[in-house]
Amino acid sequence: MSDVTTPKSPLVALQFLGMGLVWGASFLFMKIALDGVSFGQVAWSRLVLGGLTLGLIVLVTRPRVNGGPVLPREGIVWLHFLVIAISGCVIPHLLFAWAEQYVSSSLASIYNAVTPIMTALMVTAVFRVEKLARDQVIGVLIGIGGVIVIIAPWQYTELTGDLWGQLACLGAALCYGFTFAYTRKYLSGRAITGTTFAFLNIGLAGAVMLLLTPVLAWQPVALTTPIVLSLLTLGALGTGFAYIWNINVLRAWGPTTASTVTYVTPVVGVILGVLVLSETFSWHEPVGAVLVLLGILLTQKRIRLPLPAPRPA
């Protein structure tokens, strides 16, 4: 069975909406889960459960490209997937879970939105697979300025947990940017179905987590129904099905439109954080978020700055 065909437009729209809602709510679920399990157990659970979910889907559907193998046979491909499993899943999921011990779920979701800025830096400065135009460079600089406003370094006279938490969120976004750029350079052109791609990414990350069980997940837990449901949703839905939805949207709408989920997730994260957890903001956080959004719009060429009028000869 092949999954190279894309769903019909209404289903794609529902998957896009579901993806934005689930990924935006993931920051709330992490915060709830931290009441009864460690940050390592949060990251461990979502990746192991996500890998199992995607593994079952691959086992049942047996997705192939043009009758080829379900799983790639080249060792170098598996090595590339191991790299993005660690850089795009293991490290950032640990960082976000650790950070939410010190920062609000709303703020963590805002930092997640910095990913396109980090991606632009990685694809140009590190992997050199793209060149940025003038407006895109300005967008990156505005985005960086927005991050500085959110952090508000003038508030800190020492390295507090809150500051370290924000830096951890920023590090997670940097990992995502690296992963997107690495994927584009080494994996995007390979004939691998979307379902298989998602499984190898999350499944290998889950395997790494299993190896790290004695370090990350071997602590006492205090499980309640909200905590169990949060972990299940983070794993099976947010780190399982949502990754397949993302591939379907990407194929149907293209990368530029699919990337607009970046605008949805922080909105969902902030609304849920305020309504469910009664989280509050200081003035600089929404101001910085607006600057980050402006930077993203410029970086992704969704808006353009007016060109200066030519000088008369």
The confidence score (pLDDT) of residue 311 equals 61
Checking if the pLDDT of 51 tops 90, the result is: yes
Q: How far are the Cα atoms of 309, 310 from residue 313, in angstroms, in the given order?
A: 12, 9
pLDDT tens per residue, range 112-140: 989 888 888 888 888 877 788 888 899 99
pLDDT of res. 188: 77
Instruction: State mean pLDDT over 12-20.
Output: 90
The residue to which tokens 């009028």 are assigned: 309
The pLDDT confidence band at residue 303, using thresholds 50, 70 and 90, is confident
Q: How confident is the model at residue 254 (pLDDT cuts 50, 70, 90)?
A: low
Q: Per-residue pLDDT averaged across 77-87, rounded?
A: 96
Residue 265 pLDDT > 80, yes or no? yes
- The CA distance from 149 to 287, in Å, is 7
| Portion of the chain with pLDDT greater than 90, in percent | 57
| Percent of the chain clearing pLDDT 70 (strictly above) | 93
Q: For residue 89, what is the DSSP state?
A: I
Q: Which residue has the higher pLDDT, 172 or 261?
A: 172
Mean pLDDT of the chain: 88
Global pTM reads 0.89
Distance CA 97, CA 169 (A): 9
Q: Where are the alpha helices (DSSP H) in the chain?
A: 9-33, 39-61, 75-85, 91-99, 105-112, 115-121, 134-151, 161-186, 194-211, 213-216, 225-232, 242-253, 255-258, 261-277, 284-299
Query: Does residue 256 have a pLDDT over 70?
Result: no
CA distance 105 to 210: 26
* Average of per-residue pLDDT across 45-55: 96
**221 Cβ neighbours under 8 A, 6+ residues apart:** 36, 37, 41
